[in-house]
Every structure is written in structure tokens, then in C-alpha cells.
Amino acid sequence: MSSPRVISVEPGSPADTAGLAVGDELWTIEGEQPRDILEYRTLTDGESIAFEIIRDGLMLDLEVEKPTDQPLGIEVHSALFDEVRTCDNHCEFCFIYQLPPGLRKSLYLKDDDYRLSFLYGNYTTLTRFTEADFERVVTEKLSPLNVSIHATEPAVREEMLRNRRGASSLRWLRALLDAGIEVHGQVVVCPGLNDGAVLERTLADIADRYADLETVCVVPLGVSKYSTEERMRPHTVEEANAVIDSVERWQDVYAELTGRRLVHAADEYYIAARRPFPPRDHYGDTPMHEDGIGMARTFEAEFTGLVDEGIGTEAGFFSWVDAAPAEGYRAPRTCGDDEPGGGSLVQLRPRANAPVGILTGSLGAAVLEPLIADLDRDDVRVIAVDNDFFGGNVGVAGLLVGEDLARVLAAEPEGHRYLLPDVCLNRGVFLDGTSPDDLPRPVEIIPTDGVALRAALEPK
């Protein structure tokens, strides 16, 4: 158990006026030690808040006065102050097992913590979920949650999670739904393990037992070159088509039963199967961008001006591990001149009318290239960056790293403008620990949405 540690204080805020300072440890708040940011926010919601703080080894009493609707004005070091609920599953498809050695330590931590599901959109298998957890979720209305389903057949789910509790832990899914908690489900499809008849059984069971799920996202297995699991491999074109066919058949069933399509296949499946994406209205009103579903059509609408405001993407996988701030729960990326990793390079930006190269992963290129072709501009091109760092079938822009970007940019001409989506940055740093300042060409970091890209390509 640790105490919340103050890492920033907003000038002129109630906390600043009361004398809270960077480095202070909040030993107690209103006489209680919060376990996480959820309890912290509840305890700091009043007008007069009593703190016991540790400063330079000394315990001090401090009181902060503020209007009820005004923030305290501080940022703390982490979202959890007790231990992260680590994952005791041993899934063959777990991407953390497929990481190269030598990355920052926090990236290798597997969590199965329902609080991180609520705060960050992480998925929980519920194998470590308890009665006390259930009571807290229901009492505090910690909704929505994201639950990894993978398979509903007990023996298959137990095999996939390599945890005998996997066979029975979906009972908590039914309990959460009965309690009115909004839940989003996910099925990671591993070829030869939970596709085909097993996937059909899973989608049938969802229709029968979990039709009140908000969404079900069917996503493909990601395999890096560091995977040591012999059964884990990418889908073939035929297998990708089969998954889409299965999902689309069940969409019709769900639409008839519930009035919603409910289940959706990831955009990556349509790219792998060489099929057009469904129309934008096919995805309904619930965003599923975090799972890579509907992103292509949304980006298209943003880029072509059908919508005026970019939705963008969340930080996604690994976004939480270095402790996001209290406000927003997401580690900031880099988009502005005054932020680390972007400032000096943006100042060195080439002339506004220089040729433009748009850096993205191989999957992003499949979405961008038709849109750029429709512009009929010979000064704009898409630069697909192969992910040699992770290898395998990893092609999302969010997992681009400095090493691969540097390799590609070193062969690119000087004086061009190079646009980089901010989704591959976490606190201004790539997953391999490098920053945009380490790249051999200056880059312009822009938000990962079509509106931002359209604006960046407009004549200056």
C-alpha cells in the first residue's frame, strides 16, 4: 500500500492556496487511506478536506477549502495506491508474453484488475473477481467494464486461459449484467482453437445468456516474432473471411432478437480478408475504436468532412502502465509545440508547401491509401512502416516504435514534411523508450483522427 504522491499543483488552485506541494504524500484524506483514484476522488469531493501529509519525512496536518464543484487542483502519481490485481492466467495469445526483452519494467506487468477495466478500458477475465469486488462495482456503479470472453464453452475457456477458474468465472458476467452494469465483451480468435464451431457456439451462447451485453468485439490474434507458442499463428485469408461470415450471420440473429447487431468484427479482419468495410451506420451508436472496430469508416468520415470534430483513438494497449494522472485517467501523448518530444522538431518544420509523407503502420496504410488517392495530389504519400521491432503480424500504428521509424526516415529525403500519429506515443515516448527527438528527420505529431490529418494537409 502506497500513498498518493503529488506530482503537480495547479497555480492558484485550492490545493495551491492551502499549501500542498509537489512531492507531498497524502497519508490520509478525511482520516482514510484511499486504495485507488476512485476512493481518492470521493474523499476529495467535499468543501473542506482534511489531509495528513508526509513532507520531508515529517507528518503534517493540512486543510483545503474549496467549492464543491471545483477540482482540488493537484495531480497524483498513479491510479492505484494498493497493489495492482495481477493476472494469474497464462494465455498462449497474451501479447505481454510476446514482448522483446529490455523494455521498461512496467510493460511486463499483467493485470486482471476490474478497476483498470473501468478506468482505462483494460479487459478482465474475471478469474480473480470476488464477492467483495462485485459488491463494490455494484455499489459504486463502476460502469462500464470490459470482459474477455474468448469462449463460452467451459473446457475451451479453461484451456485458453490456462486457468481452471476460467471455466466458471463467466458467472460473474451474468451477475454484473443482472445488476445493471454495462459490460463490453471481447473475443480474441485464435485459429484452430476458438474459431469455427467454437466461435459459433460462443456467439450462440451470447445470444442465449448474455444478449444484454453492450457490445461484443471479435478481434484477431496478434502474434509477434517473440511468441514461443507453437499453436499461435496469424489468420489466413480464408480464415479471416470465415470469421467475418460467422459474425455477419449472427448480426442478423442479434438484430432480430435484440434490435442491435451487438457483435462486430475488427477492421483488421476486413483488411486481411480483402473485403470492404461495412458502412459507418452499421456499427451503431457505441464506439468500439479501442478494439479496432469501425475506426476505418470513422476516420474516413472525419477526413472527408462528413463530421466536423475528430473522435480519434484512445491510448490503448499499455496506456496505463506508467501511471496516468488523476484527471482523465490516460497518459498524455504529444501533439503540441510545448510538449516533450515534439517542441524542437516542430520548430524545425520544413516549409508549408513541402511534399508530405504520412507515417503509419501497415494496417493504417490500407485505410489511408485510398483516401489519399482520392485527393489526386502528387505531393502527398503514405509511408507504411513495417514493424520489425515486434515482427509477426503487428501492423497497427499504435505499436510503432522509434527504431522502425528511424530506419524508414533515414532513407527519406530531407526537407519534406513527415506527419506522425500521436497514438504511438505515451507521455512523449515510444514503446522502445525513444522519443521523436531521436528520429533522423523532424516530424509533426498530430492527433490520430481524420479531421487533424485533413487540417494538416490543407494549404498553408
Q: What is the extent of the structural domain holding 444?
A: 343-457
CATH code for the domain in which residue 253 is found: 3.20.20
One domain, residues 236 and 267: yes
Whether pLDDT at 414 is above 80? yes
Whether pLDDT at 372 is above 80? yes
pLDDT in tens, 383-392: 999 999 999 9
pTM listed for this prediction: 0.89
Is residue 132 one of the residues assigned to a domain? Answer: yes
Q: Are strands 356-360 and 380-384 parallel, antiparallel or unpaired?
A: parallel
Task: Choose the final residue of a domain: 232, 261, 293.
Answer: 293
User: Given this model, what pLDDT does residue 286 score?
Assistant: 79
Is residue 421 one of the residues assigned to a domain? Answer: yes
DSSP for residue 32? B
Is residue 328 one of the residues assigned to a domain? Answer: no
User: Given this model, what pLDDT does residue 68 score?
Assistant: 83
Task: Choose the final residue of a domain: 293, 312, 329.
Answer: 293
One domain, residues 253 and 367: no
Whether pLDDT at 428 is above 60? yes
One domain, residues 46 and 100: no
One domain, residues 352 and 203: no
One domain, residues 109 and 249: yes
Whether pLDDT at 81 is above 80? yes
Confidence of residue 345 (pLDDT cuts 50, 70, 90): very low
Whether pLDDT at 332 is above 90? no
Confidence of residue 250 (pLDDT cuts 50, 70, 90): very high
One domain, residues 175 and 220: yes
One domain, residues 155 and 288: yes
Determine the average pLDDT of the residues in 21-26. 96
One domain, residues 245 and 191: yes
The string of DSSP letters for 369-420 reads HHHHHHHT-TTEEEEE---TTT-TT---GGG--HHHHHHHHHTSPTT-EEEE
Is residue 326 one of the residues assigned to a domain? Answer: no
| Pairwise pLDDT comparison (407 vs 427), residue with the higher score | 407
Question: Residue 132 and residue 224: Cα distance in Å, rounded?
Answer: 37
pLDDT in tens, 291-328: 889 999 999 999 999 987 776 655 444 454 555 555 54
Give me the number of domains the chain comprises: 3
Determine the average pLDDT of the residues in 25-48. 93
Question: Residue 46 and residue 49: Cα distance in Å, rounded?
Answer: 6
Is residue 304 one of the residues assigned to a domain? Answer: no
One domain, residues 59 and 99: no
Is residue 349 one of the residues assigned to a domain? Answer: yes
CATH code for the domain in which residue 22 is found: 2.30.42.10
Is residue 411 one of the residues assigned to a domain? Answer: yes
One domain, residues 16 and 116: no
One domain, residues 72 and 100: no
Determine the average pLDDT of the residues in 30-42. 93
One domain, residues 274 and 383: no
User: Given this model, what pLDDT does residue 338 score?
Assistant: 41
